[in-house]
Amino acid sequence: MNQGINLLPWREARRRRQRRQLWAAIVAICIVAASVFATAWWTQSEEISFQRSRNAYLLREIRKVQVQLEEIDQIKQRKKALVARMTIIRQLQQEKVGIVRTLDNLVRALPEGLFFVSAQRSQGNFKLEGIAQSNARVSELMLNLNSSVSFGDSHLEVINIGEIDETQTSRFELMVSD
């Protein structure tokens, strides 16, 4: 009768089995660690790639906006030039009406027997040169100009008495303020 004595080296078998389990655990841990590392590396490289593509997109959009800003600046400069031209045109139109009105009033103030040789306007003043039949006609012109709402004070600069076709005339220069 055999009583169940085990003569096999059971401690040795247990150590081998524990060693195999340890190596299996080490290999499993290494595989898990490698897969975690690989997954982390792949995720990070994907994020970097995604961020680079976003950066490239943003740079393209920034360039587009810069081009648009340059176009806007050019448009603003053109607008500014056009507004300046329009202002000058408006001023010229207003001055044209004013000059026509002034010349009309100047003709209305002109007495008979007197005519202008030249009229020059500078800095709000008119310099009128003309010929009159007598000094009284020049005085009448000055009175008419002074009473007109279009003109300010007038003063006689020069008056010369001469003859044209054996008729005595007065050649004069008159300054009138606008």
Q: What is the CATH number of the domain that holds 128?
A: 3.30.1360
Phi, psi of 133 (to 5 degrees): -70, -30
What would the DSSP string read from start to end of 68-116? HHHHHHHHHHHHHHHHHHHHHHHHHHHHHHHHHHHHHHHHHHPPTTEEE
Q: Is 145 within a domain?
A: yes
**Count of structural domains, the chain:** 1
Determine how many CB atoms are found less than 10 A away from the CB of residue 141: 24
The reported pTM is 0.48
- Answer yes or no: is 140 within a domain: yes
pLDDT, tens digit, 9 for 90 and up, residues 110-152: 888 888 898 888 887 888 898 888 888 888 888 888 888 778 8
Question: What does the pLDDT look like over 15-71, one tens digit per residue?
Answer: 999 999 999 999 999 999 999 999 999 999 999 999 999 999 999 999 999 999 999
Compute the distance between CA of residue 51 and CA of residue 59 in angstroms, rounded to an integer: 12
